[in-house]
Amino acid sequence: MKTLIDNIDIMTMDENHTFYKNGCILIEGDSIVYLGDKSGLGSGTEYQSRIDGKRKLALPGFINTHTHTAMTLFRGQGSDMPLMSWLQEKIWPLEDKLKETDTYWLSLLAIAEMIRGGVTTFSDMYMFMEGTAQAVRDSGVRGILARGLQGPDDNSQKRLQETRELWQDWQDKAEGRIQVMAGPHAIYTCQPSYLLEIAELADELDIGIHIHLSETRQEVEDCYREYNKSPVRLLYDLGILDRHVLAAHCVHLSPEDIDILAEKEVAISHCPISNLKLGSGIASVGAMLEKGITLSLGTDGAASNNNLSIMKEMSMAALIHKGVKEDPTLISASKALEMATIGGASALKMEDKTGSLTAGKKADIVLIDTGSPHYHPAGDWASHLVYSGYAHDVDTVWVNGQKLMEKKQLLTIDLESVYSQVDAIYRRIMEREQPKEDNKKQ
């Protein structure tokens, strides 16, 4: 099956940021076989379907490098609380009530939101990852999945075994769209001995590590109190950083920490909106860029954001650092867009497959509807996307050559069924939280 996207403006996000005006993209199977000017395609090229790209902009699918998809259930729960209070008093007690079958529907809800916002790949860390893997399989997106790990405790070995089983059952499955990572939650939930066990498992399975790191000032202060070193230095001294590591947040870093992360080629998932909402702080992104650290964007979960829009993260990342440093050149629109696309692919070691539009890569493509007033007059598309764009501007989405959304209508997810199932889960869990008087009123 060959599909031609014709008469389309194309932002490739390749190393030269090549742009084509009124170009075309030819998709065959799961890959891009041609991209560029129509004159280079050849008049005799055959295709089975054609899409007119008039008033559309093509770019690589967005990549969300840090999520907790099943936490859609807790959207709006415990708002305006600091991280540790939010986790200990609100989120963790609610999570104890989740069932293994819940995560399929909760993850589908998150995936639907992300597809509608142009996200084609996400990197997730949570529990009951079998359900999330099934949701990735059925929806058609790419998922890099990590079972969240804490310990040692009574269940820490069981969690390690679940990681191994997740890898055995799902690595490279769903047409290669599913990959697995090891997911130590953080240094404050994983003791050094357990971190070393996780690293051994990662080496055995030849997978990377996805971890929350230096998210709050309290995390750093507690680490100094217990180990007399920063969380980054602790991981360095344990040898954890000697492998592929994706570190989420990295808000509170010293210059030495940044040097270590650069030396070890640790990739960062920058989550500006979650960090702001939880009052965690603002990461030193400018200093990281100066050291050549790979930067990507994450939303975190819907409970702490409350949105899964990478377009919002792009805008926030481009704006907030300018204001804090009083430097309007700090994070350009182009750099923010890069973080949302090829930067995410590089952070996940997937730049050979996705993150830019080039012949030979997988057909992970989004079309933006540029017919709205906020895209006029047509000019700098990166600027328009980052500073003017909205998630609902996304019109059509392909992953692996499969069309997941067309004309803003999801093709692989029945939203009404998802809403019905999620509402039932919400009632089961949340009604227990309501006083009896409130239940009588409902």
Of 415, 414, 395, 416, residue with least CA distance to 406: 395
Q: Is 329 exposed, middle or buried (0-12, 13-18, 19+ CB in 10 A)?
A: exposed
Q: Do 405 and 33 form a contact (C-beta atoms < 8 A)?
A: no
Percentage of the chain modeled with pLDDT above 90: 89
CA atoms lying within 13 Å on the CB side of residue 172: 4
Residue 49 vs residues 8, 55, 355, 360: alpha-carbon distances, Å:
15, 19, 24, 20
Percentage of the chain modeled with pLDDT above 70: 98
In the structure, what pLDDT confidence band is assigned to residue 324 with cuts at 50, 70 and 90? very high
Element (H, E) at 436: helix 436-441
Least confident of 24-28, 357-361, 429-433: 429-433
Cα–Cα distance between 123 and 208 in angstroms, integer? 12
Of 28, 37, 46, residue with least CA distance to 6: 37
- Domains along the sequence of the chain with CATH: 2-60+355-410 (2.30.40.10), 62-347 (3.20.20.140)
208-229 confidence digits (pLDDT tens): 999 999 999 999 999 999 999 9
Mean pLDDT of the chain: 95
347-366 confidence digits (pLDDT tens): 999 999 999 999 999 999 99
In the structure, what pLDDT confidence band is assigned to residue 432 with cuts at 50, 70 and 90? low
Would you give the end-to-end CA distance of the chain in angstroms?
52
Identify the residue with better confidence: 120 or 79: 120
Q: Do 283 and 251 form a contact (C-beta atoms < 8 A)?
A: yes
Bridging pattern class, strands 62-67 and 178-184? unpaired
Q: Which residue has the tokens 């889960």?
A: 425
